Amino acid sequence: MEYQTLGHSGLKVSPACLGTMNFGTTGGVGSCDEPDARRIVDTFLELGHNFVDTADAYTGGQSEEILGRAISGKRPLVVLATKAYLPTGPGPNDRGLSRVHLTRALEASLRRLGTDYIDLYLCHQWDPHTPIEETLATLDGFVRAGKVRYLGCSNFTASQIVESRWAAERLGLTPFIVLQPQYSMAARAIEAEILPACERHGLGTMIWSPLAGGVLAGRYARHAVPAADSRMGRLLASPVPMARAWAEGLLKDRTLHIADEVGKVAAELGTTSTAVALAWVRQRPGVTSVIIGPRNLDQLHGNLAGFTLDLPPDAIDRLDEISWSPDITAVTGMSLGRHQQSHS
Residues marked as catalytic: 58
Strand partners, 80: 52
Q: What is the DSSP string of 276-344?
A: HHHHHHHTSTT--EEEE--SSHHHHHHHHGGGT----HHHHHHHHHHH--TT-----SS-SSGGG----
Pick from 69, 119, 61: nearest CA to 89: 61
Strand partners, 79: 51
Burial class from Cβ neighbours inside 10 Å (0-12, 13-18, 19+) for residue 60 reads: middle
Strand partners, 32: 23, 24
Strand partners, 120: 81, 150
Phi-psi map region of 270: left, alpha, beta (phi>0 left; psi -120 to 50 alpha): left
32 and 67 in contact (C-beta within 8 Å)?
A: no
